[in-house]
Amino acid sequence: MIHTATKDLIFPSLPYEYSALEPHIDAMTMEIHHTKHHKAYFDNLKNAIQGTEMESMPFVELLNHISRYPMVVRNNGGGHYNHSLFWELLSPQGGGEPSGELREAIIKKFNSVDEFKNNFSDAAKNRFGSGWAWLVVKTDGNLVVSSTPNQDNPLMDVAECRGIPILGLDVWEHAYYLKYQNRRPEYIANFWNIVNWKVVEANYINALSALR
């Protein structure tokens, strides 16, 4: 997705049924989140770049230099990138713990997988308002947990903590309100049951080679 010219981006279908993540995320939430929220970001992005130099830019280049472009592109481009990544990170067969190189890197940085999860969960709980929590590979190759407001992400030059996101959690209320209402911490706790660590591990390896 990230190297595609922005005008050629496609609206992705989900790699599972809307009901596949139940009981952790309900079918209605998934359907509205994908067909309404994500679709609106995608359509708004396409409209906003029409007839501009942004059309032919690789999507990652646009995000890396987002401060030069209109706010509508930052909001909707981020919305498209973040949701496209998010869907792939979830799986009805998810949960458990990471393995391989990612596991080693997490333990090196956070001491244990549980401490990493606590750290990431705190970032998700403490994001005030709408936004995302991230596990990021920084430009020096090290892992870090961060969070961004609204639809910003660590690829953007406006982000406080920059790098390549390999795991993200949507904490906009629309991601959980129908099932969890004000109980964001419960949504975050259940997120760990559906994380597809195989995808996160692949994202980690890809991020390292992109930085080399």
Contact assessment for residue 194 and residue 90, using Cβ atoms and an 8 Å cutoff: yes
Q: Are 162 and 64 in contact (CB under 8 A)?
A: no
Lay out the sheet containing 143-149: strands in order across.
143-149, 131-138, 163-170
The pattern of x and - marking residues 101 through 140 that bind other proteins according to CB under 8 A reads ---------------------------xxxx---------
Nearer to other proteins, 40 or 210 (CB): 40
Contact at 8 Å (CB) between 7 and 46? yes
Site string (19-38) toward other proteins, x via CB under 8 A: -------------x---xx-
Q: Which of 20, 107, 144, 178 binds other proteins (CB under 8 A)?
A: 178
174 binds other proteins, rule: CB under 8 A:
yes
Distance CA(93)–CA(196), nearest Å, equals 7
Residues within the interface to other proteins (CB under 8 A) = 32, 36-37, 40, 71, 75, 128-131, 149-151, 172-174, 177-178, 181-182
